[in-house]
Amino acid sequence: MARVLARSPIGRCCPHAPDPSPRPSEAAPRLEIPKPVSTVRSRSARRAVPALLAGAALALTACGTGDTGSGDAGSGGEPQSGGTLTFAVGSDAGCVDPQQVGSNDTIYSVRQLVDSLTDQDPETGEIVPWLAESWEVSDDATSFTFHLREGVTFSDGSPLTAQVVKDNFDAVPNLGALAGLARGYLTGYTGTTVVDELTAQVTFGTPNVQFLQATSTHSLGLVSSASAALPAAERCSAGIVGSGPFTLAEYVQNQSITLDRRDGYDWGSSRWADGEARLDSVVFRIVPEAGVRTGSLQSGQVDAIGSVGQADEAALSGAGIELQVRANPGVVFGITFNNARPQFADAAVRQAISLAVDRQEIVDAVFPTGTLPATSVLSSTTPGYTDLSDGLTTDADRAVELLDETGWAPGGDGIREKDGVRLTLEVLWAPVAGTNQPALELLQQQLRAIGVEVTLREQPIAQLLPTLQAGEFDGAWGNVTRADPDILRGSYSTQLANLYRLPAGELDELLTAQAAAADPAERADLVAQAQELLVEEAFTIPVVELQTTLGVSPAVHELEFDASSRLQLHDTWIS
């Protein structure tokens, strides 16, 4: 395969504007995939051509209020080494293996333990070097060849080699349900060939255009061969050995995760400063109560907090706390039905519920400033997003008509009944964001107005997946973050986990085809059709785009978002 210098643009820059709520279609990135054969520049070469980068790739970030990037290091002087950053988050996933964690609150910490083959620039969407200095992709996107950096070691002293890459990717498909994201990225995986000590060729049985971006995620972050060989449960409870800028010092479930700086680290992403991380250590405290997190930040007990709600914005800003904001790409927050439930197997019932949801009211009442109501299943910052706002309108009168037509008649208390069964929707949710409960309580009121009874079942994040797998739910509230539209396949294909019991059909065909479409225009069309079908059939009810809002002390600098709006702490420092 020929080597060419090429960038991998997949988004478009959203220009800064005083209006904090741009139209989603204006902020939406364009779907592109890496060129079929590409080689990226090394760290030194990339830094030599800033002008090329400035005009090259298209950005994923959405316009909004507040700081959409890192803290302003300039205001604190020159970066300093040392100190401990204390960060309060709302929940603990009960697992500290990056390849098995899907909850943002825990990803913040475990992301720091592992390096990835590639990185994705959060401002441009470009795929850039990390552990792989360069790579080639075959014309049909079935083969990906990675050339690894020399001198990289895991914290147990073992070196990074092509065999380690093979051991990781061979192990992921056997990790089980918690590794659903990682396993989805490797769908169709046929093996990894060790070409030489520092060259690994990863192959798939069918075209897999999303894989290059997947190698930039925490889910495919590399662990040592010894860790890859451990049982999944042991990796969750005891942690793994990574090559990242921090190591796991202590994990106390539902209390804290403590990280220590990795001595001698010098192989970070091409986007970072050279050398070791600046902080000595990072402590993530599990603080479920939003008010307690806010008070702890105001009093200086912690340096940063996650899941800042609308009610706390004014108090934090008044105390000199910086609000750092970035919209998350991926599947938006909403309710996805268990389509095996008889009442929700009826598309008309699902469509009626969608019509009863007033998304703007929920956003205005509950979510941080700048948050956008959902206008598709994908957020407006996701490559391949299609604006379907015309299909996500609020029309309570039409919702009532649909329920009447399907035989659901109001009972004595206003809740509809049919054949002696009440129209009740039990929604499963986890307390991973302070906005979840108030948003659902408002949605509960909106649906009661058309005769649908909504009950809320809170579940710890660690128990959420087993409940979904068992099918013990009517609907589930949540989102999935990823800066690639293939997240639709991972969430809704019946050929993968199919947690929501969707029926096999046209949607499967579209999702499978987009994963194999090497032509960007063809893939964009297939992704658009999949979004349209999901909205038309109301298999899921999109409600609101997730916006990550952090509260950060003015003493904290360069606390950065990655392309998926998670944290990257290598360059972070405290003055």
Give mean pLDDT, residues 87-107: 95
| 143 and 292 assigned to the same domain | yes
**Residue 195 belongs to a domain with what CATH number?**
3.40.190.10
Residue 136, Cα to own-chain centre: how many angstroms? 26
Q: Indicate the SS3 state at residue 293.
A: helix
Mean pLDDT of the chain: 87
pLDDT at 310: 87
| 273 and 372 assigned to the same domain | no
β-strands 424-429, 475-481 pairing: parallel
pLDDT top residue among 351 and 31: 351
| 172 and 81 assigned to the same domain | yes
The parent domain of residue 482 ranges over: 330-545
| 189 and 97 assigned to the same domain | yes
| 220 and 261 assigned to the same domain | yes
Look at residue 69 and tell me whether its pLDDT is greater than 50. Answer: no
Q: Could you read off the pLDDT of 534-544 as tens digits, one per residue?
A: 999 999 999 99
Q: Could you read off the pLDDT of 320-348 as tens digits, one per residue?
A: 999 999 989 999 999 999 999 999 999 99
Tell me if 453 sits within 8 A of 423, measured CB to CB: yes
In a domain, 14, yes or no: no
| 37 and 93 assigned to the same domain | yes
Q: Could you read off the pLDDT of 50-68 as tens digits, one per residue?
A: 222 222 222 222 323 333 3
**What residues are paired with 252 via a beta bridge?**
256
Side chain identity at residue 479, one-letter code:
N
Distance spanning both ends of the chain, measured CA to CA: 49
**Residue 503 belongs to a domain with what CATH number?**
3.10.105.10
Which range is least confidently modeled, 45-49, 98-102, 201-205?
Answer: 45-49
Reported as a pLDDT band with limits 50, 70 and 90, residue 238 is very high
| 559 and 521 assigned to the same domain | no
Within 13 Å of residue 227, how many CA atoms lie on the same side as its CB?
Answer: 30
As a whole number of angstroms, the distance between CA 469 and CA 446 comes to 28
Q: Could you read off the pLDDT of 138-153 as tens digits, one per residue?
A: 999 999 999 999 999 9
- Counting the structural domains of the chain, the total is 2
| 257 and 157 assigned to the same domain | yes
* Burial (Cβ within 10 Å: 0-12, 13-18, ≥19) of residue 515: buried
pLDDT at 76: 64
| 256 and 383 assigned to the same domain | no
| 513 and 553 assigned to the same domain | no
